[in-house]
Amino acid sequence: MLIMYISQILKVMLAILVICTQAYSTTQQLRHGASVFMEYCIGCHSLQAVRYQQLRKDLAIDTLDIAHLRSLHLPSQPSDLYTSLSKKDARNWFASVPPDLSMIALILGKKELKQYLYGFYPDVMRNFGSANNQRPGINMPDVLAPLRQDREKLDSTIDDLIEFLEYTADPSITVRTYMGILLLCIIVIIGFVLINYAKLIFV
C-alpha cells in the first residue's frame, strides 16, 4: 500500500516536473528569439509596442545580471526597442522604411513570416546580393545569410525568432502559458486525490 502511494506521488511529481520543464523551455526559446532580434533585426526594425521593462519581466531576465544581458544582446539600461536607423537613411539606402515588427506575426501570420524568412536566396543582380522568393523586389538584405550553411542553427534561429515575434504581438501569451500550467498542476493534484479517494471507498 505504502509503495503504491509513493509511486503515485512520484508520478504526480514527474508530471509537474514535465510541465515546469515545458514552461522553462518556452522562456528559453523566447529569450533566444529576443537575442536573435537584437542581433539581426533591430539595426533596421523597431519594436515600438514593446516595453523593455515588461519584456525583461516576462522573460524572467535579471536586470542586474549585465553579463547575461550582454549575452542576449539586450541593453543594460532601461530603454525602448527602437532602431537607430533614421527614416531618411532608410529611404536613401533601401528606398523604403523597414516596418515596425511588433505586430508582424499578427499581420503576416506565422506561416507567411516563416516562408518570408526562409525565402531569401543569393542574387548578384540585386543591390544587396540577395532576393526573396516570397517578396520579389523587396530591398531587405538577407541578414540571416551567415546561418544558411547550418540548417539546424537556421531552423532554431527562425523558430525562436518567430516565437518571440508572436510574443511581441501578444505579450499576454506568457501569462496564459503560466495560467495554463497552473491549471494543469491543479488538475493533476485533484485527479490524484480523487483516484486515491475512490480507491479508499471502492477497493
3 state DSSP class of 34:
helix
Q: For ligand HEC, give the closer residue by CB, 101 or 131.
A: 101
Angle at 172 between CA 105 and CA 33, to 5 degrees: 50
Q: For ligand HEC, give the closer residue by CB, 55 or 144.
A: 144
Q: For ligand HEC, give the closer residue by CB, 81 or 161.
A: 161
Q: Tell whether residue 143 is a contact of ligand HEC (CB under 6 A).
A: yes
Q: Tell whether residue 116 is a contact of ligand HEC (CB under 6 A).
A: yes
DSSP letter assigned to residue 69:
H
Q: How far is the CB of 23 from ligand HEC (least distance, A)?
A: 25
3 state DSSP class of 148:
coil
Strand partners, 80: 51
Cα gap 113→84, rounded to integer Å: 23
Q: Residue 122: which H helix or E strand, with range?
A: strand 120-122
Q: For ligand HEC, give the closer residue by CB, 15 or 108.
A: 108
Q: Kindly list the residues in this chain that would bind ligand HEC in the complex (CB under 6 A).
A: 40-41, 43-45, 94, 96, 98-99, 101, 104, 108, 113, 116, 135, 138-141, 143-144, 161
